[in-house]
Amino acid sequence: MAHHGYTPDLSRRERVGLDEAVFCASKSVAQIEGILADAAARGTSVLLTRLASEQVAALGATVHGQLDYDPESRTAFFGPEPALKPHAPRVAVVTAGTSDVAVAREAVRTLRHAGEPAREIHDVGVAGLWRLLERVEELTSFPVLIVAAGMDAALPSVVGGLVRGAIIAVPTSAGYGVAAGGETALRSVLASCAPGISVVNIDNGYGAACAALRILAAVDA
Amino acid sequence: MAHHGYTPDLSRRERVGLDEAVFCASKSVAQIEGILADAAARGTSVLLTRLASEQVAALGATVHGQLDYDPESRTAFFGPEPALKPHAPRVAVVTAGTSDVAVAREAVRTLRHAGEPAREIHDVGVAGLWRLLERVEELTSFPVLIVAAGMDAALPSVVGGLVRGAIIAVPTSAGYGVAAGGETALRSVLASCAPGISVVNIDNGYGAACAALRILAAVDA
Amino acid sequence: MAHHGYTPDLSRRERVGLDEAVFCASKSVAQIEGILADAAARGTSVLLTRLASEQVAALGATVHGQLDYDPESRTAFFGPEPALKPHAPRVAVVTAGTSDVAVAREAVRTLRHAGEPAREIHDVGVAGLWRLLERVEELTSFPVLIVAAGMDAALPSVVGGLVRGAIIAVPTSAGYGVAAGGETALRSVLASCAPGISVVNIDNGYGAACAALRILAAVDA
Amino acid sequence: MAHHGYTPDLSRRERVGLDEAVFCASKSVAQIEGILADAAARGTSVLLTRLASEQVAALGATVHGQLDYDPESRTAFFGPEPALKPHAPRVAVVTAGTSDVAVAREAVRTLRHAGEPAREIHDVGVAGLWRLLERVEELTSFPVLIVAAGMDAALPSVVGGLVRGAIIAVPTSAGYGVAAGGETALRSVLASCAPGISVVNIDNGYGAACAALRILAAVDA
Amino acid sequence: MAHHGYTPDLSRRERVGLDEAVFCASKSVAQIEGILADAAARGTSVLLTRLASEQVAALGATVHGQLDYDPESRTAFFGPEPALKPHAPRVAVVTAGTSDVAVAREAVRTLRHAGEPAREIHDVGVAGLWRLLERVEELTSFPVLIVAAGMDAALPSVVGGLVRGAIIAVPTSAGYGVAAGGETALRSVLASCAPGISVVNIDNGYGAACAALRILAAVDA
Amino acid sequence: MAHHGYTPDLSRRERVGLDEAVFCASKSVAQIEGILADAAARGTSVLLTRLASEQVAALGATVHGQLDYDPESRTAFFGPEPALKPHAPRVAVVTAGTSDVAVAREAVRTLRHAGEPAREIHDVGVAGLWRLLERVEELTSFPVLIVAAGMDAALPSVVGGLVRGAIIAVPTSAGYGVAAGGETALRSVLASCAPGISVVNIDNGYGAACAALRILAAVDA
Amino acid sequence: MAHHGYTPDLSRRERVGLDEAVFCASKSVAQIEGILADAAARGTSVLLTRLASEQVAALGATVHGQLDYDPESRTAFFGPEPALKPHAPRVAVVTAGTSDVAVAREAVRTLRHAGEPAREIHDVGVAGLWRLLERVEELTSFPVLIVAAGMDAALPSVVGGLVRGAIIAVPTSAGYGVAAGGETALRSVLASCAPGISVVNIDNGYGAACAALRILAAVDA
Amino acid sequence: MAHHGYTPDLSRRERVGLDEAVFCASKSVAQIEGILADAAARGTSVLLTRLASEQVAALGATVHGQLDYDPESRTAFFGPEPALKPHAPRVAVVTAGTSDVAVAREAVRTLRHAGEPAREIHDVGVAGLWRLLERVEELTSFPVLIVAAGMDAALPSVVGGLVRGAIIAVPTSAGYGVAAGGETALRSVLASCAPGISVVNIDNGYGAACAALRILAAVDA
């Protein structure tokens, strides 16, 4: 393991109820291969996030065969496919616009890797409010909502005033000028006028899904 | 005039259609008295903005008698009261919450000083969306809307998706943490997902009213 | 109601499961009195936040008699005391240091106003790690944890690696230099290396409690 | 439609008087093709903004034949060419320097897509003031002026002191050092010493044109 | 001297041609008294800047008698009055508005302490351009111009395009919202579209005067 | 001229004593060619700045033959070579380190285009103070010094305490981490503890040279 | 102890070699009294930092008698006076200017509370370089140097190029404009061109002393 | 030497005890070759940092043969290999995660170039606290610890509360969203709740090693 400087957090699932995941954005192909070899040896399934298609292409053939890669969300499942829980989706993943879909998919895939089905509801940003209002009843039925929005990120505030579910806002980096990079969306959701919205890092679909899983663990307990 | 270092912009009304106004926040009482004495000598009416009640209290008795001071908006009219135009209000001044009212009043008073009546619509922030939806028809009837909102400033985006009038957003400094000072509200409205919203400086009710007056001048031309 | 520009969000409890609350920081005494008079007429209980002791002192005697004011958290209950739910605390409110206690108390009081008991665990910042490690088992027993920390805000990350409960981090404005105002604590918790931590605005104990109440609603459903 | 996650805002023109537009910067070629196929099926004309020439090159041949693409402004018209209104230009689009022309063209093209002719006046930045002073009379004749400027963005302030038309300032990202990205230009126009200037996001020629269209709608009503 | 922790830079005039000056904003009354006692013992004249009237009032009577204090600029001369050079002013100190006058006076007083006369030209901000254009010929006659402006600080750019003298811009902290504190004015003058404008710290009238004195030293050499 | 949207500022030299210069960073090759064709027609010499070698390579052969291009400073002279003034250098261009040399060369080339010789003194940053101290006498002999420094930009402060010449500091973007982009160097020189240092935009060698030329014009007058 | 929410880190000295200290800036008088009562009961000596004179005045008489308070550094020793180690000072505490002395004193007092003598060297900022150069030999003799500087904070860089001792830079909040609050000084020392300088938080004399004590512990081991 | 504008700081080792090092990020291949030719002529060994593999590939064959290049840390040794000191490692270089390893290696290589052996301890971030707690005894044995961490950088605070060694924190630029670029990690370590942690620039492994070498010099003296 010394060659790739990675000490897997083997007891994480036991301690905090979340699987081991590997953030690939700043890792070399050699490091990723080493980590997956370790996982294969341990027989554990791994979720990979921020895995660029260039990185996927450079991985060895053995690894390739075991990867379920989704280019839109840049996530991959390595190892045995986790079973999908048989209940109806308990998490709605909602986006304001097309540009937020990739982030939402990262959340959906993270939930899927934990066996949790999710409902995707796209393109209901507040500039065309009727698209959202038509679906209020549907939204109200979910105990947990992940709401991804960039630019002014007004959507989580409006949703927060309409439903009683737990709301995790994911600001996205979509946009330009003052919106570039997602800082405006982040600050907007933190300053939301609707009470009880909590927030994760910009573009952090993975983190939002983990927060949802912690809530579902509380529901299941 | 040398004693207070102020050169009045006498031809502003003629050139740009807006009256002379005096921003009092960084001026001494002596400077304000000098400016008003000049105005009195010229027989012109003056709008004073950001005039603190402490400054009002310190002004000489002669000046006092000629001031129509409104403490909430910290504005004053000096000199002959301008006539109110007889038509129905063409500008709606809308606020998200109670904390935005003072800024809205600065806009209303600036419009009033120019003879323009305005309709005030308060406390229709998006966290309780029904308050806004009940008034969409009313909002739709105005050619110009000034929308003041702090915190996440989601209101202008929602209004911008509902009406076709010209919308001038005024971010306000209400709030704390990331909302403190109004920078988040400012960036949020600049990044609005609703098209065609234009923006003025934080807490700048005066500037929003001036922008509205420029639009009404175009309408009247 | 026109005199204080406040439109109460009467159906909020029904819609989103949270009581009406009044943020007092930017409101005048007259505005607060008007809001409370409305609430008294409607017979509803109100939670007041960011209510300074100077504001309390200036409120009329009638109001005074009906206020349960806590100076540390700057919160007050107005109207009939809500009943405390009889179950054991399901929310732990944890602080890194003494400077974070006031923020934590705002959360505790907001929970109390909703009838939810809470456990307070103070002064377990990571610089003296043994204080935290001694209480891991206790922390593990809560489905929801609110963790308030300022400065480098390392505590939520460490807690997030130890327990499986839902974690809501509240960055606080304690500190000086780069820590002043809480921006460093905020960014630190958003960038947490522990997965699934969600975050609210700086010093927003109220918002953290509302997020906790949304989660408990999911648990109770 | 599910494959590209796009819910068109079909009633936008009816509600707010502005056509549907597609911001292409963060969309894949597949997403754009899907959106245009939908539009073709509905028989509507679409304005595409921030469409890179690389994206254009990658679009299918069918789409290509229906695109009127302008590389400087990175805009395209898809579908039947909208008719140009027969009146003289009512909007002047003014730039401080050559670097601002692309942003100005985005505004001109957006206006053109709505049928509005515009007058372009370039390179009249204040460092060579005579260039602007020679054209004051011309500028005065327009009810609406869009003024694009980067760096210190002094031009809108000077124009704002010379004419009575409605002024929409577009800060641009031209420049380097403190000017890089347009934040300085943005803040400069927001802090303008000339009253009644309103502002849109950095490089947002599209938004400025939409704001102008809202004003012209008020004029036409 | 040890009691006030101050090591005077005795050879500064000889080395760099500028007198010793004492920045009083962060010094105690005791520290200032100690410094002045040292200066009195050495028989040197001292310029004090950022000296609040409260500090002046707290200084001992002996010191008082030797101070020539100007409350507007918060400067004082201590010790023998320096002689005024007999030539015409070679430095014009120009302001955009009344709020910039105090900063301009700090420059004028610093020049005066060095024996240099200066011409003050106030309130010629670009929103009323005719005020400036009337005085172009006068401005052209000065080899050095100090231009103080806050808010959008457009004045130095316009002046820089009209005259060939050396221009030192002093951004001021006048204004509110995005203008508060002077950062916008600072960045605006650094990004000026007029070539060859140099800049000093926000509100730094003293530094601008020192820069002017360095230039005059070059002229005199 | 309409095809490249460029209105040359023909009277700049007469008005402000500085030649026309073309900032090429945000211009297309076609725009540059158009500008040079105009200049050739007028028979004037042009200074081009921020001209990338890729742009040079793309320019037509005719233009190529008339360009004196310096890749390090990314400047070019177009048209007849300006005569070098016969006097000894009056401007010293000083750098803290190798990384600042390109910026310094832009200043040297700008001076050269105006006929002013300059002395270059490189690599005298304060971390090896003896390198600077050995040259104090030399530095003292110049009426104007341009000092380019990145990172902490301590050099201008030290030079400012040693010489009486006019000092124009150019912060550079050299460095990484907190130094990246030059903002730290900029703020450091603006906050300099040495009096009378004036500052231009980050990496703005051209502007520093123009400021020097304004000072030399005062010296020559 | 529950009443003041403070869990003392009793084993800190044993673990990390540093005494318990109490940061008083955000604590109430009641909280401080409770902490000191606990310390008195345990018989331990306490260092109090950021203790305002108003807080001292409000403390009870019993506490007062046991406090050794220094108003300049706002520090106090509570309990038995720690013994001063008999060796010569091993730490030099150096300041650039008078405004940095209070921060330096906080470091000196913290060292003193740990028994370490320190040498203070004040007012040797680089604008008057001879003051520093005269003392290079003295500075070279210290194994550890704490260097406090505000504004452009050039001093640590110059010292770092002259001596081989360990250097801990303390940026201070002295100054105005871009220097206000110490952010510029902080970034400047982090970007220092002299290698091996390490940095603590703005105005953090206490932390600098603790870092020095850690180094001296290594020396003593 | 004039051709590459580099004045080597020949006496640095003698003065400050640190070898000459060359920061290659902003240098051309020609400049690097010139510097190495000089060093070869003087017979000195040089440490090169931030040397990209593209730069290495472009260097001439002669230079190549004398370079010991490490691609992970982007460092190279040029000239005779320095001898490794025979004692056990006195510096522990600790990382929170795999993404921080490259920065840690820059520190290890800098130490190695000075002859100091170091112990590397990787991947002990606080989200899996047991990994760190298992190694506390080992960590306690080092007089100096360099701790590299990105994102929320909680590791240095936890280490600082566990050991008494001198701690130099290196914030790294690993991460995305609010963590991107390392600013959050930097501010987090500066605000650390553990006393006596000192900090260097983002990703500055070289500087951290130099700070360690200064401390070891004090230990050795």
Q: Quick one: average pLDDT of A48-54?
A: 96
Q: Which two tokens stand for residue F4?
A: 């490249």
Give Cα A11 distance to the centre of its chain.
Answer: 22
pLDDT above 70 for E108: yes
Q: Taking CA atoms, what residue in G is nearest to C152?
A: G201
Residue F86: how many CB atoms within 10 A of its CB? 7
Q: Which two tokens stand for residue A171?
A: 């600001």
- Neighbouring chains of H at 3+ CB pairs under 8 Å are A, C, F, G
* Average pLDDT over all residues of chain G: 92
Q: Taking CA atoms, what residue in B is nearest to A97?
A: B193
Residue F26: how many CB atoms within 10 A of its CB? 19
**Min Cα separation H87/chain F (Å):** 31
Query: CB distance A166–C196 less than 8 Å?
Result: no
Selection from E48, E17, E69 nearest residue E211 by Cα: E17
Q: Quick one: average pLDDT of D117-121?
A: 98
Contact yes or no for D22/D67 (Cβ under 8 A):
no
Residue H94: strand pairing partners:
H121, H147
User: What are phi and psi for residue H104, nearest 5 degrees?
Assistant: -60, -40
- Establish if E200 touches chain F: CB-CB under 8 angstroms: yes
Would you call G22 helix, strand, or coil by DSSP? Answer: strand
Lowest mean pLDDT among A180-189, B23-32, F182-191, F201-210: B23-32
Sign of the CA dihedral with C5 first, then B195, D17, and B115 last: positive
Q: What is the pLDDT of residue B8?
A: 65
**Min Cα separation D125/chain F (Å):** 10
Q: What is the pLDDT of residue A2?
A: 34
- Of the candidates C123, C177, C179, the beta carbon closest to that of G6 is on C123
The terminus-to-terminus CA distance of chain G in angstroms comes to 36
Distance CA(G157)–CA(G185), nearest Å, equals 12
Q: What is the pLDDT of residue E126?
A: 93
Query: CB distance E6–G179 less than 8 Å?
Result: no
Q: What is the pLDDT of residue C16?
A: 84
Distance CA(A20)–CA(D170), nearest Å, equals 47
Rounded to two decimals, the ipTM of the complex is: 0.94
Percent of chain A with pLDDT over 90: 76
User: What are phi and psi for residue F23, nearest 5 degrees?
Assistant: -85, 110
HEC profile for chain H? CHHHCCCCCCCHHHHHCCCCEEECCCCCHHHHHHHHHHHHHHCCCEEEECCCHHHHHHCCHHHHHCEEEECCCCEEEECCCCCCCCCCCCEEEEECCHHHHHHHHHHHHHHHHCCCCEEEECCCCHHHCHHHHCCHHHHHCCCEEEEEECCCCCHHHHHHCCCCCEEEEEECCCCCHHHHHHHHHHHHHHCCCCCCEEECCCCCHHHHHHHHHHHHHHHHC
* Average pLDDT over all residues of chain C: 92
Q: Which CATH architecture has domain F91-220?
A: 3-Layer(aba) Sandwich (3.40)
Query: CB distance G214–H166 less than 8 Å?
Result: yes
pLDDT above 60 for H178: yes
pLDDT above 50 for D13: yes
Distance CA(E201)–CA(E205), nearest Å, equals 9
What does the pLDDT look like over A201-210, one tens digit per residue? Answer: 999 999 999 9
State the pLDDT confidence band at F4, using cuts at 50, 70 and 90: very low
Query: CB distance D26–A128 less than 8 Å?
Result: no
- Of the candidates H27, H183, H201, the beta carbon closest to that of F98 is on H27
Buried-state track A68-106, b at ≥16 Cβ within 10 A, e below 16: ebbeebbbbbbbeeeeeeeeebbbbbbbbbbbbbbbbbb
Residue B144: strand pairing partners:
B91, B166
- Establish if H136 touches chain C: CB-CB under 8 angstroms: no
CA angle centred on F84, ends F78 and F88, rounded to 5°: 145
Lowest mean pLDDT among B141-150, C70-79, H35-44, H187-196: H35-44
- Establish if D162 touches chain E: CB-CB under 8 angstroms: yes
- Neighbouring chains of A at 3+ CB pairs under 8 Å are B, C, D, H
Q: What is the pLDDT of residue C10?
A: 66
Query: CB distance F173–D177 less than 8 Å?
Result: yes
Q: What is the pLDDT of residue F7?
A: 65
Please tell me the number of Cα atoms within 13 Å of F44 on its side-chain side. Answer: 20
Q: Ramachandran region of residue F81, left (φ > 0), alpha (ψ -120 to 50) or beta?
A: beta
**Min Cα separation E135/chain B (Å):** 13
State the pLDDT confidence band at B36, using cuts at 50, 70 and 90: very high
Name D57's Cβ contacts closer than 8 Å, sequence gap at least 6.
none
- Establish if B191 touches chain A: CB-CB under 8 angstroms: yes
- Establish if A50 touches chain C: CB-CB under 8 angstroms: no
What does the pLDDT look like over G73-87, one tens digit per residue? Answer: 999 999 888 899 999
Query: CB distance D190–B186 less than 8 Å?
Result: yes
Distance CA(C84)–CA(B129), nearest Å, equals 31
Give Cα H177 distance to the centre of its chain.
Answer: 26
Query: CB distance G5–C123 less than 8 Å?
Result: yes
Q: What is the pLDDT of residue F2?
A: 34
Residue E3: how many CB atoms within 10 A of its CB? 8
Residues from chain C that touch A221, judged by Cβ atoms under 8 A, are 143
**Min Cα separation F39/chain G (Å):** 41
Place of tokens 């500090």: E55
Long-range contacts of D52-58, Cβ-Cβ distance < 8 Å, separation of 24 or more:
D52/D24, D52/D25, D55/D24, D55/D29, D58/D29
pLDDT above 70 for G157: yes
Place of tokens 């505790």: C108
Q: What is the pLDDT of residue D8?
A: 65
Give Rg (Cα) of chain F.
18
Residue E201: strand pairing partners:
none
What does the pLDDT look like over E121-155, one tens digit per residue? Answer: 999 999 989 999 999 999 999 999 999 999 999 99
**Min Cα separation E51/chain G (Å):** 14
Contact yes or no for D117/D84 (Cβ under 8 A):
yes
Give Rg (Cα) of chain G.
18
Q: Which two tokens stand for residue E116?
A: 């240099």
Distance CA(D167)–CA(B147), nearest Å, equals 18
**Min Cα separation D32/chain B (Å):** 19
* Average pLDDT over all residues of chain A: 92
- Establish if A169 touches chain B: CB-CB under 8 angstroms: no
Distance CA(B78)–CA(B69), nearest Å, equals 9
Selection from H80, H196, H197, H94 nearest residue H142 by Cα: H94
Q: Quick one: average pLDDT of A176-200?
A: 96
- Establish if G161 touches chain H: CB-CB under 8 angstroms: yes
pLDDT above 50 for G127: yes
Lowest mean pLDDT among A55-59, A64-68, C111-115, D186-190: A64-68
Q: Quick one: average pLDDT of F135-150?
A: 97
Residue ranges covered by each domain of chain E: 12-78, 91-220
Contact yes or no for B89/B142 (Cβ under 8 A):
yes
Residue F14: how many CB atoms within 10 A of its CB? 8
D–E contact: 3+ Cβ pairs < 8 A: yes
Q: What is the pLDDT of residue A10?
A: 66
Q: How large is the greatest C-alpha to C-alpha distance in chain E, in angstroms?
A: 56
Sign of the CA dihedral with C127 first, then G150, F100, and E189 last: positive
Q: Which two tokens stand for residue H67?
A: 């370079």
State the pLDDT confidence band at F17, using cuts at 50, 70 and 90: confident
Name F142's Cβ contacts closer than 8 Å, sequence gap at least 6.
F89, F90, F91, F92, F119, F163, F165
Residues from chain A that touch H123, judged by Cβ atoms under 8 A, are 5-7
Q: Taking CA atoms, what residue in G is nearest to C94?
A: G5
